[in-house]
Amino acid sequence: VSKITPSWNSELGYGAVAFDGTMRLNEALVERLNISQKEMEQGIIETRKKVRRRSLLFQRDQAQEVLSGRCAILVDDGLASGFTMLVAVEALHKESLSQVVVAVPTGPIDTVRRIAADVHRIYCLNIRSGIRFAVAEAYKHWCDVTEQEALDAFGRL
């Protein structure tokens, strides 16, 4: 799953695309950011390509049969609006899973509650309150995990 971002801010997601093609747009944010139809369509195309490439890279297609009857644990570096996580949850609910669990280190209370309504369990150790929240604000040292680092971590499992 990957967020759809405007060309001018790779951290701000106004929608998300999942491995199975599930796609949702945060229409209120699209309107507030004044994102044109052309930019939105381009963002969706680029994000779909990114998700497909990563699905092949991480061999998602081979793992599909293994999911049936199992518990999926969705892990992220934190929740902001939760929109990307909701799309991931929606896509996984289409699978034959026994449970969907979310584990994140931090997120705002309203987002944690919204996600909790759609999953079997959610674990969030640092729940924040306030109007504005950015995941990076909860970290002393923030850095993105590269695809290679993710592959290396999966290889150790």
In the chain, where are the structural domains located?
Answer: 2-155
Name which of 9-13, 31-35, 102-106 the model is least confident about.
Answer: 9-13
DSSP H helical ranges for the chain? 27-33, 37-57, 60-67, 83-93, 109-116, 147-155
What integer is the mean pLDDT of 56-62? 71
The confidence score (pLDDT) of residue 74 equals 96
Does pLDDT of 136 surpass 70?
yes
How would CATH label the architecture of 2-155?
3-Layer(aba) Sandwich (3.40)
Angle at 33 between CA 32 and CA 36, to 5 degrees: 110
Q: Would you place residue 65 in the very low, low, confident or very high pLDDT band (cuts 50, 70, 90)?
A: low
> Taking all residues of the chain, what is their mean pLDDT, rounded to a whole number?
90
CA 32 to chain centroid: 21
What's 9's DSSP letter?
-
d(CA 50, CA 15): 14
What integer is the mean pLDDT of 51-75? 81
What integer is the mean pLDDT of 100-111? 96
Name which of 56-60, 73-77, 96-100, 151-155 the model is least confident about.
Answer: 56-60
What integer is the mean pLDDT of 133-145? 87
Does pLDDT of 92 surpass 80?
yes
The confidence score (pLDDT) of residue 132 equals 73
The confidence score (pLDDT) of residue 66 equals 74
What pTM, to 2 d.p., does this model score? 0.88
